[in-house]
Amino acid sequence: MPNPADNPAPPGVNRRRFLKLGAAAAAGGALGAGTGLWLDCGGSSRTAVTILKASSYRQELATLIRAGLKNHPAVIERARDRRVLLKPNLVEYSNARRVNTHPAVVAAAIEAFRAAGAREVLVAEGPGHQRDTEMLLEESGLDDALRHARAPFVDLNLDSIRPVPLAANYTQLGKLWLPDTALGADLIVSLPKLKTHHWAGVTLSLKNLMGVVPGAKYGWPKNLLHWRGIHQSIADIALALRPGFAIVDGIEGMEGDGPLMGETVPAGVLIMGENLAAVDATATRVMGLRPERVAYLQLMALHDGVICEDAIAQRGERIAAVRRHFKVLEPFAVLRS
Amino acid sequence: MIQRGRDFLSASQLADGGWPYRPKAAALLEPTCYALAAMDQAALTKERDAGIRWLVARQMPEGAFALPNDSEPHWATSLAVLALAQHGAAGPQRAEAVKWLLAWGGRTMTQQAALTLDGQLVGWPWTGGAFSWVEPTACALLALKRGGQRDHPRVAEGEKMLLDRQCADGGWNYGNPAVFGAALHGFLPTTALATLALQGSRTANEATRRGLDFLQREIQKHRSALALSLAILCLAAFGRPVAEPAATLAARQQPDGSWRQDVRLTALAVLALQTADGGPNLFKLDDAKPR
């Protein structure tokens, strides 16, 4: 793994803070969890995160998401007359419902962004270890949902690609090849599932962005990123792509041995906001875990990521009203509150 | 049906001679390799020659192939060897690529409690600086065996690595049979490639049988073009029946002659249906019997 101490501090980041946090993140990458070194709330202004109760995939989710979007007028403005890319978490056809972002949530987000005035809404994903995207689409039910919604799907693994310089370069790769479809979108919306993760601790809207990295260059799995540090990779990808919104499908989440083999938790929430670190920090708190101990959230706090609870303007439900206590594997016991 | 698929491939070829995954995108290595392999070998066509030229131009001095505008060795080097061999083209370039493959390998890792695999076995990675996985290892083995290296120690170790990664259900996934004690299941495409890569192995009879049984069992449940095509190519290479999956695959062809407007899927479907019709098989080695 690269040593962050060898890396110059990214533009705008205090070098002393960066070195301390870099060392923490590298240790976290090696251990699979953050070290608990608390450095900063991140960000300089409050950002809004909305929590909505949603008990079933059969309820009117588009109306709910549209109501939630009203708490985020800047993203509505950003979507109007623009090209919006929705990035769900589509991983596995076996146990599809418990593993992937539910097709009903994807369909509802399509409808909500169309209602917000988006010129085009497309759905795009580059599954991480399963090359048979057609099978994933069909057996997850997403194919039917997209056909019904008349929304296009782009396999980001097989898109045209180009190298993008990494400003922060936590992975020390220097550049990352990324798909033209993602780079050309006006607004990227991450649609993850609320899950624990056996290598990263939690997988939410930022970790979901690893699916944007193209298999055509990096393979299935995109293993080079793991060797360069999961946390460092997540931060580099997020800083290169600059996603503008996230909606976490927490209607049914996963605890324990996620992202594939864990148990379903009927958490009954959707969590959304413009600042993905803030969304993930809130979602982590909803899971009964400590976001300040997730190394990639610490890294994002060095940039414009907001993870301190006091810096997040909570809309909708209070965290305490929806909090569950997700089980984590023993290496991530440090994340428990 | 096969000709309509080839017509789609011809129409999707870019002016530079390469093929993209999706029409009108930029040409990349893997779709070019499969599209080229699917072109009619009996006819010397302009498309075929342009494809060969595009591919050969992607070879770097050390023998590996690279993506356009990239200088890093690419995992599709093995496929380039197979595609060029299918047309009997670019012999010296293939020999250089085979030499490079023998020198290329994945990084190793010490035993981890979460994993059951042997991290010391060196197969082939997707990218430099990463671990070895099933698909690039299977494709490298096929290219090396096709390139006359069946008795090389790297081939024997690659086969050993595949045996180490076989799932409890008899299939192969991306390359990890279990994590934290939980058994993971095999995937159809990787099972087909891994089983094909074990052709001629002295030590893989039982693993091969289990792989073939997995394919015959699972192909009843899944209908994707990738799974059907690779399963047909594998089952046919071992003399197992393929009429039923071939009919299912043919029925999924779209009016424009493609499978999902995807060059790679269409090329693989053409290759599979051609094999099911008694034609050549891209992945079948001349002597598939155990040595």
Least CB–CB distance from A198: residue in B75, B180, B262: B180
**Of A227, A217, A106, A204, nearest in space to A157 by CA:** A217
Task: Count how many Cα atoms sit within 13 Å of the Cα of residue B82 in the half-sphere of its side chain.
Answer: 30
Distance from CA of A227 to the nearest CA of B (A): 7
* Arithmetic mean of pLDDT, A20-26: 41
For A186-232, the pLDDT digits (tens) are 999 999 999 999 989 999 999 999 999 999 999 999 999 999 999 99
Residues 6 or more apart whose Cβ sits within 8 Å of residue A17: A39, A40, A302
Q: What pLDDT score was predicted for residue A88?
A: 98
Residue numbers of the domain that contains B146: 105-216
**Alpha carbon distances (Å) from B175 to A220, B35, B134, B199:** 10, 26, 5, 19
Question: What is the DSSP code string of A259-314?
Answer: TTS-EEE---EEEEES-HHHHHHHHHHHTTB-GGG-HHHHHHHTTT----GGGEEE
Residue B51 has pLDDT above 50, yes or no: yes
**Cβ A134–B225 below 8 Å, yes or no?**
yes
Q: How confident is the model at residue B123 (pLDDT cuts 50, 70, 90)?
A: very high
Q: What pLDDT score was predicted for residue B110?
A: 82
* Arithmetic mean of pLDDT, A253-266: 93
Could you tell me if residue B246 is inside a domain?
no
Tally of domains within chain B:
1
Least CB–CB distance from A223: residue in B131, B184, B189: B131
Residue A23 has pLDDT above 90, yes or no: no
Q: What pLDDT score was predicted for residue A4?
A: 36
Residues 6 or more apart whose Cβ sits within 8 Å of residue B242: B231, B232, B235, B236, B272, B275, B276
Residue B6 is inside which H or E element, if any? helix B2-12
Residue with tokens 């505008």: B69
Could you tell me if residue B224 is inside a domain?
no
Q: How confident is the model at residue A40 (pLDDT cuts 50, 70, 90)?
A: low
**Cβ A218–B126 below 8 Å, yes or no?**
yes
For B259-288, the pLDDT digits (tens) are 999 999 999 999 999 999 999 999 999 865
**Alpha carbon distances (Å) from B169 to A98, A327, B33:** 21, 28, 31
Residue B72 has pLDDT above 90, yes or no: yes
Q: Which residues numbered 156-215 in B keep a CB inside 8 Å of some CB on A?
A: 173-174, 179-180, 182, 184-185, 187-190
* Arithmetic mean of pLDDT, A299-327: 96
- Tokens read off for B132: 């070895």
With H, G, I as helix, E, B as strand and everything else as coil, classify residue A240. helix
Residue B46 has pLDDT above 90, yes or no: no
Mean pLDDT of chain A: 89
With H, G, I as helix, E, B as strand and everything else as coil, classify residue B9. helix
With H, G, I as helix, E, B as strand and everything else as coil, classify residue B226. helix
For A146-157, the pLDDT digits (tens) are 999 999 999 999
Q: What pLDDT score was predicted for residue A42?
A: 58
CA pair distance B245, B255, nearest whole angstrom: 20
E strands, chain A, in order? 47-53, 83-88, 120-125, 153-155, 161-165, 175-179, 187-191, 193-197, 201-203, 245-255, 263-265, 269-273, 312-316
CA pair distance B205, B211, nearest whole angstrom: 10
Q: What percent of chain B has pLDDT over 90?
A: 89
Could you tell me if residue B114 is inside a domain?
yes
Could you tell me if residue B34 is inside a domain?
no
- Tokens read off for A154: 């782009």
| Chain A residue numbers touching B16 (CB-CB < 8 A) | none
With H, G, I as helix, E, B as strand and everything else as coil, classify residue A179. strand
**Of B66, B85, B64, nearest in space to B18 by CA:** B66
Q: What pLDDT score was predicted for residue A43?
A: 54
Could you tell me if residue B117 is inside a domain?
yes
Q: What pLDDT score was predicted for residue A76?
A: 97
- Tokens read off for A218: 């990096």
**Cβ A257–B107 below 8 Å, yes or no?**
no
Residue A20 burial by Cβ neighbours in a 10 Å radius (0-12, 13-18, 19+): middle
Residue numbers of the domain that contains A56: 4-335
**Regarding predicted confidence, which is higher, A60 or A14?**
A60
Q: What percent of chain A has pLDDT over 70?
A: 86
* Arithmetic mean of pLDDT, B219-228: 95
CA pair distance A83, A184, nearest whole angstrom: 8
Mean pLDDT of chain B: 94
* Arithmetic mean of pLDDT, B226-244: 97
| Chain A residue numbers touching B219 (CB-CB < 8 A) | none
E strands, chain B, in order? 178-179, 182-183
- Tokens read off for A199: 């290598």
C-alpha A264 chain-centroid distance = 19
Tally of domains within chain A:
1
Residues 6 or more apart whose Cβ sits within 8 Å of residue B154: B102, B105, B122, B144
Peptide bond into B23 cis (omega under 30): no
For B178-211, the pLDDT digits (tens) are 988 889 999 999 999 999 999 999 888 999 999 9
Peptide bond into A165 cis (omega under 30): no
